[in-house]
């Protein structure tokens, strides 16, 4: 107990450090507006983006899955779950696309990939490997100012203004981000947990991050080996 408390304090006070989180997950164990993981991307300007993650929750309310803000747009690139509509909504800048009719079961791991190409203005969601419709959203400009990427909380301003009722409670793993639209083949490899090209912007196996408040790093292994 004492050890884990010490470890937690060490982790919370640590400066950003690069870690290989392969086989591990972030646990967000309670509803707060203070606990989060802040990820430092290796690039800060983009004309296209793919973000993939796996998450598990039993929340019966709206919640954030991935929040990237800039000083211009608090929802520069946001993946949000809207409970009443049962929709996953990628928000890009001031636009959003809605993906409904999904089997977003509670207490089940879901692999979610979101792609965006700013030149044509198309967004696409892949839900557990299922290809969903490409939709038109905010074309023209990419991302050119330094982003703030946060897991666990939704940024209503650049780097802050969290809403406890949009916080994520549950587990999250295998967060990757690329500065291009991943091919269908690469997405299937990611979903199937086969060997895939790791994110060149965020790589779960070499993640530059820091944790604030109660976010724990645990093994995600479910079975004996
Ligand atoms: C969060 O939701 C609860 C229950 O619906 C509500 O009572 C509370 O005011 C909300 N808090 C904020 C900060 O919106």
Rounded to the nearest 10 degrees, how much is the dihedral formed by the CA atoms of 90, 54, 151, 155?
Answer: 10
Atom number in ligand 1 closest to CA 164? 13
Domain 4-221: assigned CATH number: 2.60.120.200
The whole-number pLDDT of residue 16 equals 61
Q: What is the mean pLDDT of residues 56-78?
A: 96
Q: Is 164 in the pocket of ligand 1 (CB under 6 A)?
A: yes
% of residues, the chain, pLDDT over 90: 84
pLDDT band at 225 (very low <50, low <70, confident <90, very high): low
209: which strand partners? 17, 39
CA atoms lying within 13 Å on the CB side of residue 225 = 3
In the predicted model, what is the mean pLDDT of the chain? 91
Q: What residue has token string 């916080």?
A: 167
The whole-number pLDDT of residue 215 equals 97
The whole-number pLDDT of residue 5 equals 46
The whole-number pLDDT of residue 143 equals 80
**Residue 3: pLDDT above 80?**
no
**Residue 7: pLDDT above 90?**
no
**Residue 21: pLDDT above 60?**
yes
Burial call 8-34: b when 16+ CB within 10 Å, e when fewer = beeeeeeeeeeeebeebbbbbeeebbe
The whole-number pLDDT of residue 15 equals 54
Residue pLDDT, tens place only, 183-203: 999 999 999 988 899 999 999
Q: What residue has token string 């490997």?
A: 129
DSSP 8-state assignment for residue 159: T
The whole-number pLDDT of residue 139 equals 66
Spacing, Cα 171 to ligand 1 middle (Å): 22
Residue pLDDT, tens place only, 166-175: 999 999 999 9
- Looking at per-residue pLDDT, the higher value among 45 and 6 belongs to 45
Q: Is 165 in the pocket of ligand 1 (CB under 6 A)?
A: yes
The whole-model pTM stands at: 0.89
**Residue 54: pLDDT above 80?**
yes
The whole-number pLDDT of residue 66 equals 98
- Contact between 73 and 94 under an 8 Å Cβ cutoff? The reply is yes
Spacing, Cα 162 to ligand 1 middle (Å): 13
The whole-number pLDDT of residue 13 equals 45
Closest by CA to 155, choosing from 46, 70, 96, 31, is: 70
For the four alpha carbons of 180, 201, 100 and 106, in that order, the dihedral sign comes to positive
Identify the residue whose C-alpha is closest to ligand 1 atom 12: 165
Dist. CA 26–CA 36, nearest whole Å = 10
Spacing, Cα 166 to ligand 1 middle (Å): 10
Q: What is the mean pLDDT of residues 202-215?
A: 97
Residue pLDDT, tens place only, 105-163: 999 999 999 999 999 999 999 999 999 999 998 767 888 888 999 999 999 999 999 99
Identify the residue whose C-alpha is closest to ligand 1 atom 3: 165
Identify the residue whose C-alpha is closest to ligand 1 atom 2: 165
- Contact between 62 and 116 under an 8 Å Cβ cutoff? The reply is no
Closest by CA to 149, choosing from 202, 93, 217, 89, is: 202
The whole-number pLDDT of residue 41 equals 96
Kindly tell me the burial class for residue 6, based on how many C-beta atoms sit within 10 Å of its own C-beta (0-12, 13-18, 19 or more): exposed
């Amino acid at each position: 107990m004492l050890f884990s408390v010490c470890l937690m304090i060490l982790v919370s006070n640590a400066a950003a450090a690069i870690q290989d989180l392969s086989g591990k997950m972030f646990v967000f164990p309670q509803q707060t507006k203070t606990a989060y993981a802040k990820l430092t991307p290796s690039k800060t300007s983009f004309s296209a983006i793919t973000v993939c993650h796996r998450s598990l929750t039993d929340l019966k309310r709206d919640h954030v899955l991935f929040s990237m803000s800039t000083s211009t747009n608090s929802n520069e690139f946001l993946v949000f779950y809207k409970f009443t509509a049962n929709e996953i909504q990628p928000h890009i800048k001031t636009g959003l696309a809605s993906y409904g009719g999904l089997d977003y079961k509670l207490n089940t791991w879901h692999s979610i990939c979101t792609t965006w190409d700013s030149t044509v203005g198309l967004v696409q969601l892949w839900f557990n490997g299922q290809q969903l419709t490409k939709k038109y959203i905010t074309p023209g400009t990419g991302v050119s100012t330094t982003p703030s990427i946060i897991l666990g909380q939704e940024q209503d301003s650049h780097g802050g203004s969290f809403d406890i009722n949009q916080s994520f409670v549950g587990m999250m793993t295998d967060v990757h981000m690329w500065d291009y639209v991943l091919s269908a083949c690469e997405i299937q490899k990611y979903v199937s947990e086969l060997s895939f090209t790791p994110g060149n912007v965020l790589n779960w196996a070499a993640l530059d991050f820091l944790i604030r408040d109660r976010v724990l790093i645990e093994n995600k292994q479910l079975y004996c080996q």
